[in-house]
Amino acid sequence: MTPQQDAGIDEAPDYADFPGGAKAALEAVLMVLDEPAGEEELAAGLGLTVAAVGTLLAELQREYNGYTGKAPEMESASNTGIGSSPRGFELRNIAGGWRIYSRAEFADIVGKYVLEGQTARLTQAALETLAVIAYRQPVSRARVSAIRGVNVDSVVRTLAQRGLIEDAGTDPESGAILYRTTSYFLERMGISSVEELPQLSPHLPGLDGIAEFYDAGTM
């Protein structure tokens, strides 16, 4: 299938002339990204349709993960590396964008080379605060501390410094600063939106009314 030109793109290169075609061009762009890129962004940059980019991304993802089953009728025609073993890296869709990561299995080896930027494990207090903010966002510090039963000011400050949460404006009623999680948080969690967080309800047995109950209790 020939990639079609988007209306907004002045000219799409003819990828047939390139070694590896449009897929390799996409791969070349993925190599220079320093933050996750969305499909629209990649499509616009490459002069391809979003659908075509989506197909190519999925194909690259499968290739990097290694094909295990062989499809004999395709074998001779295909040049996508069928039957190959997994690569040392993977392509993942995280926080709404695609990006190349080293494969988790090699963490100990890769970690020796990229010590910088690796963050220490969060404390229990930080994790709990982060959890409350993630599930109740946007949320004020007062509410978070109501749920946790302790003052959370310094933990909130640290989480903001680590780029995991950010200011989300003020509460129209109380004027308190509200907090939400950042896309860096999603990235660190390896998910593309907060909707992918595990459901809270199974951990809250039979407490349907708790939100109102709780709200009535806040100042």
Site for another protein in 117-136 (CB under 8 A): 118-125, 127-132, 134-136
State both tokens at 1. 């299938």
**Which region, judged by CB under 8 A, interacts with another protein, from 3-11, 43-51, 57-65, 186-194?**
186-194
The residue count for binding a copy of itself (CB under 8 A) is: 79
166's CB contacts (< 8 A; 6+ apart) are 160, 179, 180, 181, 182
Least distance (Å) between residue 17 CB and another protein: 15
x/- map, 13-52, a copy of itself, by CB under 8 A = x----xxxx-xxxxxxxxxxxxx-x------xxx------
Binders in 152-181 for another protein, by CB under 8 A: 153-154, 157, 160-162, 164, 167, 175-177
Q: Give the type of residue at 146.
A: A
How many residues belong to the chain? 219
Task: Spell 29-56 as b/e; 16+ CB within 10 A means b.
Answer: bbeeeeebbbbebbbeebbbbeebbbbb
Q: What is the dihedral of CA 62, 63, 66, 71, to 10 degrees?
A: 80
The Cα–Cα gap between 168 and 82 comes to 47
β-pairing, 89-94 with 97-102?
Answer: antiparallel
Residues 41-60 binding another protein (CB under 8 A) are none
CB of 54 to a copy of itself, least distance (A): 17
> Which of residues 73, 108, 208, 212 is near a copy of itself by CB under 8 A?
108
Beta strands per DSSP E along the chain: 89-94, 97-102, 139-140, 165-170, 177-181
Least spacing, CB of residue 59 vs another protein, in Å: 19
The answer to whether 29 and 45 have CB atoms below 8 angstroms apart is yes
Please choose which of another protein, a copy of itself, none residue 196 contacts, taking the beta carbon within 5 to 8 angstroms, the exact cut-off set by kind.
Answer: another protein
Question: Between residues 76 and 118, which has the closer beta carbon with respect to another protein?
Answer: 118
Phi, psi of 36 (to 5 degrees): -60, 140
Of 34, 73, 173, 195, the residue at the interface with another protein (CB under 8 A) is: 34
Task: Give which of a copy of itself, another protein, none residue 191 binds (C-beta under 5 to 8 Å, depending on kind).
Answer: another protein
Residues 143-202 that bind a copy of itself (CB under 8 A): 145-146, 149-151, 153-154, 157-163, 166, 175-177, 184
Task: Pick between residue 154 and residue 193 the one whose CB is nearest to a copy of itself.
Answer: 154
